[in-house]
Amino acid sequence: MSGPAAERTIVFVAHTGQVSGAEKVMLDLIDVAVGRGHRVRVVSPDGPLSGRLPAGVDHVVIPPLGLSGERGLARLAGGGRLVVDWIRAGRILRRVSRTADTSTIVNSLFALPAARIARPAGRISWLVHDTLSSGRQRAVIRISAPVIRRAVSVSEATAVPLAELGLPVVVAHNGVTWPVTALSTDLHDPPVVGMLALLTPWKGHAIALDAVAGLPGVELEFAGGSFPGDADHVAALHARAGGPDLAGRVRFLGHTDLRTALQRWDVVLSASVTPEAGPLSVLEAMAYGKPVIGTDHGGTTEFLRDGAGVLVPPSDPAALAGAISRVLDDAGLRRSLTAAARRRIADGHDKSTTLPRMLDELLSG
């Protein structure tokens, strides 16, 4: 890796104006870039993201670049609209990314085709927050590959399929605030398990509901918002939570302060049914000393292996229920999990170190 680049204009591109884990990482990188004296522009749809940009950072509006939970013929129509929106976004991006002193960083898979259309100066760096699990994702990458100069992956698991597709890829891990004071591992009465994740199907909230349904006396909380296109899914989650085996034991908290949520919970779940790249919610819970149970794939495996958490097969409510019971019933296990997790954060996921290195990797070469 070469050293940090000289001052330049950096254009960050996102496919959504919402703020979830990937956008939080981008906002942190923007702070580092501004602190180094770079000129920064953000190209994204309108939404909460634009309201969180630092003073002096320009926002350039593009259409939303993604499907919104459509099915059947509506999905085909949505795909047609997406192609049109890629073209529109590409033309807008071209106007702000073609000068020689500009570096373009694409923060999301579904913004890549817009970058292919824009053909930014020097091509692009892609910050990879998605572990490939579908043919649709691979098709987007193949379409966009000619403009990808370098892919910077947030976990080893995410890097492997990109290398297999022939992309030049390096790993720069996600990080969180460190040090922080550990929260108590004493159990609430009744005990509470929680998830901090958008209410979208692949995050596995339905699996968590089925798991806790078989654990009388255990309560479940979901913290996080949702996309408009997931309204039917959210309604189904509420309906399941109101069933006789769960009634009165499930709470939907909406957007909640991280530390406040973690203080309410005895165990944190990451139940994603497809692989996550490097989930910040897992790292944050580990930093605060909350025991984490996660599905055994993607970056979650890397975070929790070797005693830093408990790993279970994806889409397996019985295995998840067994793991919850084991952690809740064993105070010694909770202490060992949290001690190992906090060591892992200290050793490799302190964002005061990870973020500058990530930006260096995105700008180098």
Per-domain residue ranges for the chain? Answer: 9-175+351-363, 192-349
pLDDT at 17: 94
Please say if the pLDDT value at position 3 is more than 70: no
C-alpha distance from residue 197 to each of 205, 254, 268 (Å): 9, 10, 11
Return mean pLDDT, the chain.
93
Tell me whether domains 9-175+351-363 and 192-349 share a fold: yes
Domain spanning 192-349: CATH superfamily: Glycogen Phosphorylase B; (3.40.50.2000)
Burial profile 51-77: b = 16 or more Cβ within 10 angstroms, e = fewer = eebeeebeebebbbbbbebeeeeeeee
pLDDT at 175: 97
CA 282 centroid distance within chain: 10
pLDDT at 2: 43
Report the alpha-carbon distance of residue 294 to residue 8 in Å, rounded: 40
pLDDT at 80: 80
115 is written with which tokens? 């970058």
Q: What would the mean pLDDT of 170-187 be, rounded to a whole number?
A: 96
pLDDT at 28: 98
Q: What would the mean pLDDT of 173-186 be, rounded to a whole number?
A: 95
DSSP 276: B
User: Where does the pLDDT of residue 365 fall: very low under 50, low under 70, confident under 90, or very high at 90 and above?
Assistant: low
pLDDT at 229: 80
pLDDT at 196: 96
SS3 label, residue 147 = helix
pLDDT at 67: 61
Residue 144's nearest CA partner among 181, 115, 101, 107 is 115
Task: Please give the residue that has the higher pLDDT: either 67 or 60.
Answer: 60
Residue 114's nearest CA partner among 140, 87, 143 is 87
pLDDT at 6: 59
Please say if the pLDDT value at position 29 is more than 90: yes
C-alpha distance from residue 257 to each of 185, 224, 283 (Å): 19, 10, 15
User: Where does the pLDDT of residue 227 fall: very low under 50, low under 70, confident under 90, or very high at 90 and above?
Assistant: confident
Give the relative orientation of helices 21-35 and 351-363 as an angle to the nearest 10 degrees. 80
Report the alpha-carbon distance of residue 340 to residue 308 in Å, rounded: 5
Alpha helices in the chain (DSSP H): 21-35, 48-51, 72-97, 112-118, 135-144, 156-164, 205-213, 231-241, 258-264, 280-287, 298-304, 317-329, 331-348, 351-363
Please say if the pLDDT value at position 314 is more than 60: yes
Q: What would the mean pLDDT of 114-141 be, rounded to a whole number?
A: 94
Q: Which fold has domain 9-175+351-363?
A: Rossmann fold (3.40.50)
Q: What would the mean pLDDT of 325-350 be, rounded to a whole number?
A: 97
Give the CA count within 13 Å in the CB-facing half-sphere of 257: 4
C-beta contacts of 43-47 below 8 A and 24+ residues apart? 43/11, 43/12, 43/13, 43/14, 43/89, 43/92, 43/93, 43/96, 44/12, 44/13, 44/14, 44/15, 44/16, 44/17, 45/14, 45/15, 45/16, 45/17, 46/17, 47/16, 47/17, 47/18, 47/19
SS3 label, residue 99 = coil
The pLDDT tens digits of the residues spanning 61-113 come to: 999 997 655 444 445 555 688 999 999 999 999 999 999 899 999 999 999 99
Please say if the pLDDT value at position 233 is more than 90: yes
